[in-house]
């Protein structure tokens, strides 16, 4: 991840001395540019932190681009750019600059890969910000009447001059009350906005326009898709996605949970790395390593794929002190630590082993390994009961009727009314202070209704926790020098998935049909055919570790003098009771307490 921060003033960019500022910058060279841009004189664009300026910055006489980007399909892109294509080996920022010259604000449609970038044309005052289709690269911004400030993470943005750090009370209340609340375009700070995945922000002629450039729901479904051709195309796209993500680094690690997604990525990547003469990637799981485990358990699944690929497998964990250090971080300026309870230990260990990139199967469930969620409720609600009956996967009247019955139950659950958010505080879901709560307006929560395959896929990609975890891993991984890459979220692969009819995802009792067929012969059947998503060992460990840590953090906060500044947001009397209960039970099953402790500033 190329961390950056930038400021674009929405005013005339003429140099006060009468010179052409962009031309002056271009003459300096990339390393000098970074220093000059960060100075008071050249404060229009401050950029390139943590990594060499040349990796994230591209300067031309009339265009400046700051990017955290990895661009795929460069051969096709260069062909489409024609004479505008930069020299071979040019950094991603140069490709983005050329794409802007060719397609303007539509350039993201032609850019495949993981990216977030800001560009500016000094002569016209035009500014442009874009984020990749799923948000693998984070970007935050603050927009005022006279300027745009942007950065790779909230802390970097708030460090820029003129960006206020007062909290957004409505956001605070919403996230403390609804533990599955996804922030979308908001943040803890009133002035800080998150550019959503697949969105762009265009500043021109003194106006700002924000819209969504990636609209996969418009892709036409091919109802006549052939099984064999679909499976072959799927494998080819996965191979391409993995190959693109290992092309520019030398030291890799892989997630190896024993699930379909991570197993597929590891099985495709490992022989590719060996062909390049690179070291085998260490594998990482979130549960214990046990070579003698029962094959039908979490460690058994991981061991099966580890043995097939002949890799080393590790499962590092956090100590209580390390877990407490996560809670001590300022949530309002950094990652949501709920996504780091396991992954933080992996980042620490992978960095120690010299890993530059972690290849992950995260995000597969939402598209590339989709299980057909929403298909049976759609069949039931639209009166296609004969098709539903035949989709039982087992012979006999009883099996068919049971399929119809369960589809009916899921349909009812899908459309039943949701508990109003304001009631959740009264039902013990939150420790928010009542007086503070009465002064707020809760933000709307996007409800994911599993009704129809396409609609469910789309809702999961847009409104679930997919982008949130990508964002948090990117920000936290950068502190260890680690870049996360997600082949199953490749845009070319997802857009292919959107062309497929429901039968490619579920057939009878077999869910995730397509990926299971594509992995035939590649993965051991104990992994390939497994339908379980339960993880009792992992859950048991995290609950015990969280219980110990929450008691430790809670007692520190309650013993502090003076009280935390953010205590005005929390019902501290109820928090004390929850800490005492956690001490008695030793349980970490109190999301309201966890969120409150995570939010409060620490002594």
pLDDT digits (tens, 9 = 90+) for 334-366: 999 999 999 999 999 999 999 999 999 999 999
Phi and psi angles of residue 127, each rounded to the nearest 5 degrees, phi first? -130, 155
pLDDT band at 539 (very low <50, low <70, confident <90, very high): confident
**pLDDT over 90 percentage in the chain:** 64
pLDDT band at 315 (very low <50, low <70, confident <90, very high): very high
CA distance 588 to 597: 12
Average pLDDT over residues 462-466: 88
pLDDT computed for residue 224 by the predictor: 95
pLDDT tens track for 365-382: 999 999 998 988 888 889
DSSP state letter for 221: P
Q: How far is CA 304 from the centre of its chain?
A: 28
Q: How far is CA 406 from the centre of its chain?
A: 32
pTM of the model: 0.90
CA distance 383 to 397: 18
Place of tokens 């745009």: 148
- Quote the mean pLDDT of the chain: 87
pLDDT band at 142 (very low <50, low <70, confident <90, very high): very high
CA distance 333 to 470: 16
Average pLDDT over residues 459-485: 93
CA distance 534 to 203: 47
pLDDT band at 157 (very low <50, low <70, confident <90, very high): very high
Q: Is 131 in contact with 137 (CB distance < 8 Å)?
A: yes
Residue 49 has pLDDT above 70, yes or no: no
Intervals of CATH 3.60.20.10 along the chain: 5-139+195-214
**Cis bond leading into 241, ω under 30°?**
no
pLDDT computed for residue 475 by the predictor: 95
Domain 218-313+332-371+452-533 belongs in CATH node 3.40.50.300: no
Q: What is the largest CA-CA distance in the chain?
A: 86
The token pair at 131 is 């984020």
pLDDT tens track for 419-456: 666 666 666 678 999 999 999 998 888 878 888 899 99
pLDDT computed for residue 422 by the predictor: 64
pLDDT computed for residue 124 by the predictor: 87
pLDDT computed for residue 25 by the predictor: 39
DSSP class per residue in 84-111: GPPPTT--HHHHHHHHHHHHGGGGGGG-
pLDDT computed for residue 2 by the predictor: 67
**pLDDT over 70 percentage in the chain:** 89
Residue 314 has pLDDT above 60, yes or no: yes
CATH architecture assigned to 5-139+195-214: 4-Layer Sandwich (3.60)
DSSP class per residue in 419-453: PPHHHHTTTTS--B-HHHHHT--PPP-------SH
Q: Is 344 helix (H, G, I), strand (E, B) or coil?
A: helix
Ramachandran area for residue 521 (φ above 0: left; ψ -120 to 50: alpha; else beta):
left
Intervals of CATH 3.40.50.620 along the chain: 218-313+332-371+452-533
The residue among 19, 49, 20, 21 whose CA lies nearest residue 35 is: 49
Highest-confidence segment of 14-23, 47-56, 460-469? 460-469
């Amino acid at each position: 991840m190329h961390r950056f921060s930038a400021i674009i003033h929405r005013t005339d960019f003429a140099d006060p001395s009468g010179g052409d500022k962009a031309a002056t910058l271009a003459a300096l060279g990339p390393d000098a540019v970074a220093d000059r841009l960060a100075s008071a004189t050249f404060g229009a664009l401050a950029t390139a932190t943590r990594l060499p300026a040349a990796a994230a910055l591209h300067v031309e006489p009339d265009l400046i681009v700051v990017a955290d980007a990895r661009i795929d399909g460069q051969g096709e892109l260069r062909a489409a750019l024609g004479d505008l294509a930069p020299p071979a080996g040019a950094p991603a920022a140069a490709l983005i600059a050329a794409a802007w010259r060719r397609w303007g604000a539509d350039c993201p449609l032609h850019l495949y890969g993981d990216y977030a970038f800001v560009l500016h044309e000094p002569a016209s005052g035009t500014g442009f910000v874009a984020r990749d289709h799923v948000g693998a690269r984070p970007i935050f911004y603050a927009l005022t009447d006279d300027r745009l400030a942007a950065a790779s993470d909230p802390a970097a943005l708030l460090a820029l001059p003129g960006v206020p750090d007062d909290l957004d009370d409505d956001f605070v209340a919403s996230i403390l009350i609804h533990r599955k609340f996804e922030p979308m375009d908001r943040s803890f700070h009133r002035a800080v906005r998150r550019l959503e995945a697949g969105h762009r922000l265009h500043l021109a002629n003194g106006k700002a326009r924000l819209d969504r450039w990636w609209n996969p729901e418009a892709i036409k479904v091919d109802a006549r898709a052939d099984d064999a051709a679909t499976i072959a195309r799927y494998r080819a796209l996965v191979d391409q996605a993995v190959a693109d993500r290992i092309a520019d680094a030398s030291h890799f690690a892989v997630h190896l949970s024993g699930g379909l997604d991570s197993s597929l990525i590891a099985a495709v990547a490992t022989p590719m790395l060996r062909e390049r003469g690179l070291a085998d990637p260490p594998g990482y799981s979130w549960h214990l390593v046990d070579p003698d485990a029962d094959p039908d358990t979490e460690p058994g699944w991981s061991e099966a794929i580890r043995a097939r690929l002949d890799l080393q497998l590790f499962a590092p964990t956090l100590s209580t002190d390390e877990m407490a250090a996560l809670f001590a971080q300022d949530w309002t300026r950094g990652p949501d630590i709920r996504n780091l309870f396991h992954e933080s230990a992996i980042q620490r260990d992978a960095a120690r082993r010299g890993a530059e990139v972690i290849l992950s199967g995260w995000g597969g469930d939402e598209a590339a390994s989709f299980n057909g969620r929403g298909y049976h409720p759609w069949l039931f609600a639209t009166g296609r009961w004969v098709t539903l009956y035949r989709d039982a996967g087992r012979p006999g009247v009883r099996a068919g009727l049971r399929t119809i019955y369960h589809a009916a139950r899921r349909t009812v659950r899908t459309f039943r009314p949701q508990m109003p958010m304001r009631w959740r505080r009264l039902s013990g879901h939150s420790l928010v202070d009542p007086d503070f709560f009465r002064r707020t307006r809760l933000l709307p929560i996007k409800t994911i209704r599993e009704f129809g395959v396409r609609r469910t896929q789309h809702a999961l990609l847009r409104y679930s926790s997919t982008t949130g975890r990508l964002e948090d891993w990117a920000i936290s991984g950068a502190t260890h020098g680690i870049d996360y890459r997600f082949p199953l979220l490749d845009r070319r692969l997802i857009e292919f998935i959107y062309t497929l009819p429901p039968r490619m995802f579920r057939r009878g009792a077999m869910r995730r049909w397509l990926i299971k067929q594509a992995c035939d012969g590649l993965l051991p059947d104990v992994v390939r055919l497994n339908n379980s998503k339960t993880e009792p060992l992992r859950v048991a460990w995290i609950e015990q570790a969280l219980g110990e840590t929450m008691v430790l953090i809670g007692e520190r906060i309650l013993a502090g003098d003076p009280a935390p500044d953010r205590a005005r947001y929390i019902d501290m009397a109820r928090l004390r009771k929850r800490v005492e209960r956690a001490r008695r039970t030793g349980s970490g099953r109190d999301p309201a307490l966890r969120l409150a402790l995570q939010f409060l500033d620490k002594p």
